Structure 1
Amino acid sequence: MVTVSRIVAGDQPDWRDLYRGYAAFQNASLSDDALDRLWQEIIDDTQPMLGAIARLDGVAVGLVHFQPFYRPLQACWNGFVNDIYVSDAARGSGAADALMKAVRDHARSAGWGEVRWATGADNARAMAFYDRVSQRTPLVTYKMPITPDED
């Protein structure tokens, strides 16, 4: 059975293993310092980042990080999923559904209008899941890297 709970301090070892798995899946390198900073953001109740961990029969198998953002055209708060990850061995177990339900439940209780996220255009398995639990938007995502000495 899959259970989901908010990430708490005692989850750190399981969370670290899962997040390292997520970083590897994303082909991203992650220093211990960056991992420590992210952990502090997640467990610090004064910060906006929220997190939940999924367990399958008591074993940690997935995580989700999300946070509020304000949408001026809707004049309301919405949510943004930064990361969602389920370990290879637990894919198809219902863990992703349970994690997204936890996000939806939080969004509803917080009064958010909607929850958004982005995924890689080549992540067909994730997109099939997202197409089932949400609506695809026509938006294209951009990023603007910020460097300290750039005008």
Structure 2
Amino acid sequence: MEPAAQAAEGRRESAEERADRRWNELLQEVRVAQTGVQILFGFLLTVVFTPRFPTLAAPERAIYVVTLCLGAAATGALIGPVAFHRFVTGRNIKPQTVVWASRLTIVGLLLLLATIISAFLLILRVALHDSAVPWIVSGLVAWFLLCWFALPAWARHRYAGDR
């Protein structure tokens, strides 16, 4: 890469160095999400063995099954980048690996969002039996969308021209 192009991007690094840096940053991010999804999924696996589970109505059982499936899918997507990297290591395709691992991470975050919302819905339905539950859940969805997607998208748009 020419020095002018490197300076415009803010770093003097080769494509390989950039891929290494981006990979390390992605791994740090995935570690946080993996830990959260694995703990949540572990708790979800135990719910069926609690004394209260047999007393749940059919809709709550359906929500539980959906939540469990979403948790499993989120776990797979968020562990996926590690497996992806392991299978392609040494093939000189790290820049492409970073792109695909990043995509898996985004899918994993979307699935984690759906898992959290679904679990929250289940818990509130059992705890409150109230018509306010959909409103509370909708508020939580809005909050997550704001924190996880809207603010980063706004910052990306707002400061993209400052480079």
| Greater share of strand | 1
Common fold, TM-score beyond 0.5? no
Larger relative contact order, structure 1 or 2 (CA cutoff 8 Å, min sep 6): 2
| Greater share of helix | 2
Q: TM-score, normalised by structure 1?
A: 0.31
> Which protein is bigger by CA-based radius of gyration?
2
